Amino acid sequence: MNVHEHHRHQNSAACCASACAAQTVQPAADVTAIDGAHFARYQIANMDCPNEERLIRNKLDGMPGIVRLDFNLMKRVLTVHHREIDLAEVTRALTAIGMQARLVPEQMPQDQQLPAADNKQKLLLVISGFAACGAEALAWNGYTDTSPVVIGLAVLSIVSGGMPTLHKGWIALKTLTLNINFLMSLAVLGAVTIGQWPEAAMVVFLFAVAELIESLSLDRVRRAVHGLLKLAPDVVSVRNADDRWEELPVRTVEVGAVVRVKPGERIALDGVVIDGQSTVNQAPITGESVPVAKREGDVLYAGSINERGMLEMRVSSDSGNSTLAKIVRVIEETEASRAPTQRFVDLFARYYTPAVVVLAILVAALPPLVFGASFTDWFYKALVMLVIACPCALVISTPVTIVSGLTAAARRGVLIKGGQYLEAGHKLKVIALDKTGTLTTGAPEVVEIVALSNAEHDDLLLLAASLNAHTDHPLARAIVAAGPQATYYRKVRNVESLPGRGVKGEVDGRLVYLGNHRLIEELGICNDQVETRLRNIENAAQTAILLATSEQVLGIIAVADGLRPGARQAVERLKRLGVVTVMLTGDNQLTAQRIGEEIGIAAIHAELLPEDKLRKIRELQAAHGTVGMLGDGINDAPALAQADIGFAMGAAGSDTAIETADVALMDDDLDKLPLFITLSRATRWVLVQNIAAALVIKALFFVLAILGMASLWMAVFADVGASLLVVFNGLRLLRHAGIRTATITR
């Protein structure tokens, strides 16, 4: 329902290698085939950031036979599309630029994750820490910074904890890339050059700790996303050819297999109930707070929980294509379409880092050359500026916040197709709403029974339901649904359809009619009382169905499109958020007016064709700015595409809605609209907090560096602190802290 373009992920010129782990580009897990090309997947343990992506692109793009490179930084997977090349050459090229790459199977498990650090790395980090602290302690207790024992401990710290950083820094120098590894390597080598060995050791150790902590923090984002897949069990009970049940791995179960789900078990795959009744908790998929009754013919989603009865279902999709897997895949893909703030920050960092490097060179050179100041002092100040110049906290502030917000929304049954939509939600001033299937259920239901004889309401409904028991007409189904269970139906004989008028049949030897106004007039039993009642019903935009005998009208059943539960409350919450609601519908004016007034819609536009809805959206945008559109039908597609944010209604299990909507509401709960806006405003506020905190900390340390009041290790500590501050602040969204604050201003 949406034709917004999604722009390719652009490389950031400078960012922290571990800090950008949450950024995701087009995933290798769902590769689009290229005609005549093969593909190979590499899992690269140290590919966390667009900086590594740029290194790889620079190395591989020019190789003969390579067609395209796809990166999934969240899984650390590179997909190489090629035309019959020697993959050993690709492996050697990756190794040459320091990438720890290994080929993985084409059908790599979706939840496969690399640890943030292995035991060897942790041991080396401990050794580096003890050595650095030892060097600092000796320097503070009578030893000089250049004494052999201090230098020995510093060298041990640098070798055990800093070699990966120095190696990456050397690669960055060869490729002329100004990144954090280059800046940190330059700071360490500069400190060694002027004899500040304890400082150099402490810088190496603190930076290694920073990388580990940041990596662990960002792994939490990865786990939050991939933890959704853990909602579905790994094994399932499948009926085999001998009609017996056996436990099989979920990934081996094929579409069409019959699966049994016991009470209390999680459902492993999408499917349709073929036997049994139960209630199912669908909250992990749709966000519904109340369990849903399921019986034969109803749809089940992987990850939901069977609460009461035994269910048998026929599998409708394999594990890689379940609704749950699609949700995870969409979240992984969203960062390819980057939020405006994220694009601004990356562009800012691209120019900010080189500018600070030039400034540091001037700080190191001008005072000694112009004023005769101490070169060692000003060179040291320049090194402090280089360390604090790292844009880690600034660059990491956006992707962590955006991914956390996207994951929090998915947990509530709101699937957002890109960071730009999550961020743009705070600017929504108007939301246009379709009526049928959106504000209403899209299915008629009995709203009133008018008795015109001595018969009771229940008797009239029983008689009407008995006549309609075997009819598929929507109005007939509404009457049957409102009536008693099938075991209580009256016996009807000689049932005959009356095209364009209704139906008739014999009940207890008496001929009974059920139909429209025209049928009653043809029978000659219409009178002023009936006409008055019919006029009142029609003025209320309801459909009148009359029950009669050959002599008199027994009663009138009023049927109307049912109001969706929670619609009125959702519109009221939107009003409290300052969002104006507008109805755009193709239905008649009377019906639209009745529904709109009952719900509390601010403006109602009825009898619209698809092109009319499109025109109205454009008018709203011209008058109010950012406009959203919520719909569920094909006729809503032009308006959904024109709107700044298109919302799809009831998208659970729908490939089209999940793949094309800007925001897909995974069930029919309209309350997810105000939830989305509240989350968007909370996300925006966290983004502002993070960017402000990062810039203020850096500005403060620039001043301290110029005044000579900051050391190298203090600069690293400040940079680490800023990065961790924005990471943990962004991760707050995973706990829905912002969602509960419905009064956050735009």
Active site residues: 434
d(CA 532, CA 548): 17
Residue 228 and residue 232: Cα distance in Å, rounded? 8
Q: Can you tell me whether residue 262 is helix, strand or coil?
A: coil
DSSP secondary structure string for all residues of 102-118: EEE-TT--TT----S--
The answer to whether 562 and 443 have CB atoms below 8 angstroms apart is yes
Instruction: Using alpha carbons, list the distances in angstroms from residue 577 to 89, 572, 596, 674, 734.
Output: 57, 9, 19, 8, 22
End-to-end CA distance of the chain: 27
Helix (H) or strand (E) run with residue 273 in it: strand 271-275
Question: Nearest-5° angle of CA 494, CA 497, CA 499?
Answer: 160
Yes or no: say if 315 and 269 are a contact pair by the CB < 8 Å rule. Answer: yes
Spatial separation of the C-alpha atoms in residues 113 and 226, rounded to whole Å = 9
d(CA 643, CA 517): 42
Residue 479 amino acid letter: I
The answer to whether 606 and 623 have CB atoms below 8 angstroms apart is no
* Whole-angstrom distance, CA of residue 362 vs CA of residue 156: 33
Distance CA(302)–CA(651), nearest Å, equals 15
The pair of three-digit structure tokens given for residue 520, joined into one six-digit string = 């009653």
Of residues 68, 86, 87, the one with CA closest to residue 25: 68
Q: Which of 688, 14, 695 is nearest to 347 (CA)?
A: 14
User: What is the C-alpha to C-alpha distance for residues 20 and 211, in angstroms, rounded to an integer?
Assistant: 11
Give just the sign of the alpha carbon dihedral 719, 724, 725, 729. positive
Residue 78: its H or E element: strand 77-82
Q: Which helix (H) or strand (E) holds 237?
A: strand 235-239
In contact, 600 and 571? CB cutoff 8 Å: yes
List, in order, residues 6 or more apart from 691 with CB less than 8 Å away. Answer: 341, 345, 394, 397, 398
CA distance 617 to 573: 22
- Region at 494 (left for phi over 0; alpha for psi -120 to 50; beta for the rest): left
Secondary structure in 3-state letters for 496-542: EEECCCEEEEEECCEEEEEECHHHHHHHCCCCHHHHHHHHHHHHCCC
Distances in Å between the Cα of 676 and the Cα atoms of 99, 411, 425, 671, 736 are: 39, 12, 7, 9, 12
DSSP structural state of residue 316: -
The single-letter code of the amino acid at 543 is T
Q: Which of 486, 483, 488, 482 is nearest to 444 (CA)?
A: 482
Cα–Cα distance between 471 and 617 in angstroms, integer? 40
DSSP 3-state of 508: coil
In 537-676 the beta strands, taken as DSSP E runs, fall at 543-549, 553-563, 580-584, 603-605, 627-631, 645-648, 663-665
Task: Report the SS3 class of residue 541.
Answer: coil
Q: How far apart are CA 224 and CA 217, in angstroms?
A: 11
Structure tokens belonging to residue 463: 């008689």
Compute φ and ψ for 472, nearest 5 degrees. -100, 0
CB 391 within 8 A of CB 349: yes
Instruction: Scan for tokens 């394999």, then name that residue.
Output: 318
